[in-house]
Amino acid sequence: MELILAAAVCSVLVSILLKICKAKGLNPMQMICWNYAIASLLCFSWFKPDLSHISPSNTPWWLILSLGVLLPSVFLCLSKSLQSAGIVKTEVAQRLSVVLSLSAAYFIFNEHFGTFKLIGIGLGIAAVLCIIYSHRSSHAQASYSSSGMLYLASVWVGYALVDILLKYTTGLGVQFAVALNLMFICAFIFSFLYIVLTTKQIGSATTILLGLVLGLLNFANIALYVKAHMLLKDTPAIVFAGMNILVVVLGVFSGLLFFKEKLKTSTSLGLGLGIMSVLCLAYAMTVS
Mean pLDDT for 8-37 is 95
Q: What is the pLDDT of residue 141?
A: 54
What whole-number distance in Å separates Cα of residue 136 and Cα of residue 141?
9
Q: What is the pLDDT of residue 72?
A: 96
Q: Would you place residue 140 in the very low, low, confident or very high pLDDT band (cuts 50, 70, 90)? A: very low
Lowest mean pLDDT among 29-33, 50-54, 191-195, 263-267: 50-54
Mean pLDDT for 114-124 is 91
> Burial, 10: exposed, middle or buried (Cβ in 10 Å; 0-12, 13-18, 19+)?
buried
What whole-number distance in Å separates Cα of residue 41 and Cα of residue 62?
22
Q: What amino acid occupies position 19?
A: K
Output the pTM of the full model: 0.91
Residue 140 DSSP symbol: G
Q: What mean pLDDT, rounded, does the chain reach?
A: 89
Closest residue by Cα to residue 215 from 46, 4, 23: 46
